[in-house]
Amino acid sequence: MIFLKDVFKEDLIMKILAGLGFVLNLILWGFLFHWVDAGWERVPLHYSIYTGIDFLGSGYNIFFLGAFGLGICCLHLFLFFLSRKPSVLSYWLLLSSIFFNILLFVFAVFLRGLISQ
């Protein structure tokens, strides 16, 4: 059985990258929980520069952003466990999950700005 301490034993950079990905996802979840109000009936979930708001949904659909980010982090960590040794691909996987969570957070901030107008 693979344990985290065995996989990350040698590589401090992998520990930092994996931890940072999950911390960024926790920050995204915290922002979403702080922002979503139970009274929202319909909120814009997608905005296009050509057509404006083109997808409306329940306020709780916003939480799919955090769930999607957590799923990406878990998938990339699972793929790292499959390799069982640090490689360049492992670094890219964990870096892409960090980048993806940053993009989701920026998207959530822009959606909040769009709703509050």
29-88 residue pLDDT tens: 998 888 776 556 777 777 778 888 787 777 777 888 889 999 999 998 888 878 767 778
E strand or H helix that includes residue 54: strand 52-57
How far is 85 from 117, CA to CA, in rounded Å? 49
pTM: 0.77
Residues 43 and 111: their CA atoms lie apart, in Å, by 9
Q: Give me the pLDDT at residue 91, please.
A: 84
Residue 39's pLDDT is 55
Predicted pLDDT at 42: 75
Higher pLDDT, 89 or 95: 95
Q: What is the pLDDT of residue 90?
A: 80
Q: Is the pLDDT of residue 3 over 60?
A: no
